[in-house]
Amino acid sequence: MTPFSVIEENRRSRKFNFKFREATNAAKAHVGWSGGANVPTVGIGKNLHHVDGLNQSRVRQLLEAEGNLSKDVFTLIGDSGSTLGAAIRSTQDTLKPIFISVGHRVSLASAIKIVKMSCRFRVPEPIRQADIRSKACLRNHGLS
């Protein structure tokens, strides 16, 4: 199996939080490509901010629309007509989606499959574990 690196883009690491376009795709592609590793990468965000006509409230309306309550994957298409990524309900119990975009050497369909396979809870397990352990480390060093 090919190793995957998962990049979480959230408000702690970047001011812009999560954009699907050039800046983040370039960063994900650079991480996957740099150092000769050529490792596939996937972009994951917990929040969505305004980009190409899409924003959190518009996506929430889409998710809550009649007939969409049973769907778990929504392709996000901006006002320009470009496919920007996907919003997915990672578990059956969650109403709040996570946002997926491609990085390096991974299609959107593959990125969605990878993320869904790694979710026991709302956030994919590698990111969840990193978050838990980093918070524990901060607590142990009196920094939280």
Residue 76 has pLDDT above 60, yes or no: yes
Note the pLDDT of residue 8.
42
pLDDT-above-70 percentage for the chain: 74
C-alpha neighbours within 13 Å on the C-beta side of residue 110: 11
CATH number at 118 reads: 3.30.2170.10
Is the pTM higher than 0.85?
Answer: no
Note the pLDDT of residue 34.
57
> Which single residue is written with the structure tokens 């946002």?
99
Structure tokens at 125: 């397990």
Mention every residue, 6+ apart, whose C-beta is less than 8 A from residue 69: none
Mean pLDDT value across residues 111-133: 92
Tally the domains of the chain: 1
Note the pLDDT of residue 33.
54
Note the pLDDT of residue 9.
42
> What's at 53, amino acid-wise?
G
Dihedral sign, Cα of residue 125, residue 129, residue 132, residue 138: negative
Mention every residue, 6+ apart, whose C-beta is less than 8 A from residue 10: 17, 18, 45, 46, 47
Mean pLDDT value across residues 31-54: 78
> Which single residue is written with the structure tokens 């996907």?
86
Note the pLDDT of residue 71.
87
Note the pLDDT of residue 65.
85
Query: pLDDT per residue over 89-111, tens digit each?
Result: 988 777 789 999 988 889 999 99
Note the pLDDT of residue 22.
41
Nearest to 50 by CA among 76, 71, 29: 76
Task: Determine the structural domain holding residue 77 and report its residue range.
Answer: 5-140
